[in-house]
């Protein structure tokens, strides 16, 4: 209810609005609401689109807000005791790097302008929560990808009794995941809770392509065929089936790109890209390795 405190809040709202480069699309808080209420109750004269200078006027405006929108809506802006308030920052195409810069700038503003006035800030909302989770997401992402690749490698190595074949099996899908991360970094696609799930899907689905190709190649070699003929037959037999499998799964996940939820749309696109990368690595990398390192280890 203090004009001075509301003035500090208005300055904060203005400061946040200036950070358009950090994806800030708009800011709504108690100062913005009261300025609008003052404007509307003063015959919509432009000169009154500002905060009142009297506490009595501010108290009256809050009472009008209760009458027009209802007390429950007002309590979403300020609490019952008028001791805390909510400022909503609308983000458009936010990413973790820009959001971190914005939050750091707000914290610096708080320390310089608000803390001396006895005003404290707390972040809340989906964007702020996701921001606090980003370190955990990256850490668990590294662990999960490493664990998945190592698990597949060990299973294939034990079944085929060869570490070499296990390594060849996981190499294409591992490169597909790395290529996706490179594309994400180049295009500035943020790594979030949803978009991080493509790695496990790629390893789980894409490893099949190498397994089929290598199984046919080894069968041919066991029959005494040359490396070249074994590769040619493996491609002729498994190539069409593997390609059909990859395209079918990619089309299925591609439906997510039509989602109106940006995170789901990004996930669909990343899964499609990673499966295509995995298929390409299987067809381009494995034959070269098998051609030059074809000893049965």
* Phi, psi of 169, deg, nearest 5: -70, -45
pLDDT tens digit sequence for 14-62: 999 999 888 898 999 999 999 999 999 998 888 889 999 999 999 999 9
Rounded Cα distance between 226 and 229, Å, is: 5
Looking at the chain, the whole-number percentage of residues with pLDDT higher than 70 is 97
Judged against a pLDDT cut of 80, whether residue 279 lies above it is answered with yes
Confidence tier at 98 by pLDDT (50, 70, 90) = confident
Give the CA distances from residue 149 to residues 80, 101, 236, 260, in Å, rounded to whole numbers and listed in that order.
54, 34, 27, 32
Indicate the length of the chain as a whole number.
Answer: 297
Question: Positive or negative, the Cα torsion across 253, 255, 257, 262?
Answer: negative
User: 122-146 pLDDT, tens per residue?
Assistant: 998 888 887 777 777 777 777 878 8
- Determine if the pTM surpasses 0.75: no
Structure tokens at 220: 């041919």
In angstroms, rounded to a whole number, what is the distance separating the alpha carbons of residues 44 and 293? 81
Confidence of residue 294 (pLDDT cuts 50, 70, 90): low
Among 56-65, 151-160, 245-254, which is the least confidently predicted range? 151-160
Q: Find the mean pLDDT for residues 254-264.
A: 84
Distance of CA 72 to the CA centre of its chain: 33
Per-residue DSSP letters for 136-158?
HHHHHHHHHHHHHHHHHHHHHHH
Q: Give CA angle at 81 (78, 86), nearest 5°.
A: 20
Residue 297 pLDDT > 60: no
Query: Shortest CA distance to 297 belongs to which of 165, 152, 171?
Result: 165
Structure tokens at 221: 């070699």
Q: Which of 220, 213, 276 is nearest to 240 (CA)?
A: 213
pLDDT of residue 295: 53
Average pLDDT of the chain to the nearest whole number: 87
pLDDT tens track for 230-250: 889 988 999 899 999 889 988
How many CB atoms are closer than 10 A to CB 64?
A: 14
pLDDT band at 148 (very low <50, low <70, confident <90, very high): confident
Count helices and strands in the chain by DSSP H and E runs:
10, 2
**CA distances, 211 to each of 28, 205, 246, 268 (Å):** 55, 11, 13, 24
């Amino acid at each position: 209810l203090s004009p001075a405190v509301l003035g500090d809040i208005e300055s904060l709202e203005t400061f946040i609005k200036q950070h358009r480069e950090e994806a800030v699309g708009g800011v709504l808080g108690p100062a913005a609401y009261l300025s609008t209420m003052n404007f509307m109750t003063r015959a919509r004269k432009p000169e009154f689109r500002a905060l009142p200078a009297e506490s009595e006027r501010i108290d009256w405006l809050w009472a009008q807000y209760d009458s027009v929108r209802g007390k429950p809506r007002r309590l979403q802006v300020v609490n019952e005791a008028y001791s805390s308030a909510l400022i909503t920052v609308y983000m458009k195409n936010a990413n973790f790097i820009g959001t971190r810069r914005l939050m750091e700038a707000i914290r610096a503003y708080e320390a310089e302008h608000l803390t001396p006035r006895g005003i404290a800030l707390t972040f809340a909302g989906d964007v702020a929560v996701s921001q606090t989770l980003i370190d955990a997401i990256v850490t668990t992402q590294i662990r999960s990808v490493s664990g998945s690749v190592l698990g597949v490698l060990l299973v294939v190595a034990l079944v085929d009794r060869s570490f070499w074949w296990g390594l060849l099996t996981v190499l294409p899908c591992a490169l597909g995941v790395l290529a996706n991360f490179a594309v994400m970094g180049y295009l500035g696609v943020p790594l979030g809770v949803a978009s991080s799930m493509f790695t496990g899907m790629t390893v789980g689905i894409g490893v099949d392509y190498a397994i089929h190709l290598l199984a046919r190649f080894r069968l041919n070699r066991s029959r005494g065929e040359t490396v070249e003929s074994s590769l040619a037959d493996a491609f002729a037999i498994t190539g069409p089936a593997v390609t059909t499998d990859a395209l079918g799964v990619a089309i299925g996940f591609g439906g997510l790109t039509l989602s109106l939820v940006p995170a789901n749309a990004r996930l669909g696109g990343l899964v499609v890209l990673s499966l295509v990368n995995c298929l390409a690595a299987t067809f381009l990398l494995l034959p070269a390795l098998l051609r030059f390192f074809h000893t049965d280890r």
